[in-house]
Amino acid sequence: MQSGEKLKILVVDDNPAVNDVLCQLCSFLGHEVVTAQNGAEGLALVRRDGAIALVFTDFRMPVMNGVEMLRGLKDLRPAMPVVLITGSIMEEDLGSERTGFDAVVSKPFELKTIAACIRQFFPKVSSSLGD
């Protein structure tokens, strides 16, 4: 990925407000964002769209939860980073469920937290924060 290139990011959360906020933050950072409301939708999007580079997902969702989706994503694209976004589960409480997620971001999140998370996996991709 070239420096300055925008990423295609998938946000998966059954709460429309969380989807909206995270989409706005990622868009502000200069990235393209697609959304899904549950793990099954998210997995289907990744199957259809090879351009998705990073996934932010909730833990508790109807149809297919974040862990079930994570397993499917890692089967499809093992190197793609999958970040758990959660407000109800503390990282230390995840135990074995944490296994497989590349990072955990607690809700509510801030722009700088999301930017740092993206930079962790794509250090050469710049953002509109001037970094």
Helical segments of 54-96, H only? 66-76, 91-94
Contacts of 3 (CB under 8 A, 6+ apart): 124, 125, 126
Token readout for 124 is 């050469």
Q: Which residues pair with 99 in a beta bridge?
A: none
The whole-model pTM stands at 0.86
Domains of the chain: 8-121 (3.40.50.2300)
What is the residue-level pLDDT of the chain in tens, covering all 131 positions? 444 578 999 999 999 998 999 999 999 999 999 999 999 999 999 999 999 999 999 888 888 888 889 999 999 999 999 999 887 655 444 554 556 799 988 888 889 999 999 999 998 875 555 44
Q: Is 7 exposed, middle or buried (0-12, 13-18, 19+ CB in 10 A)?
A: buried
DSSP class of 50: T
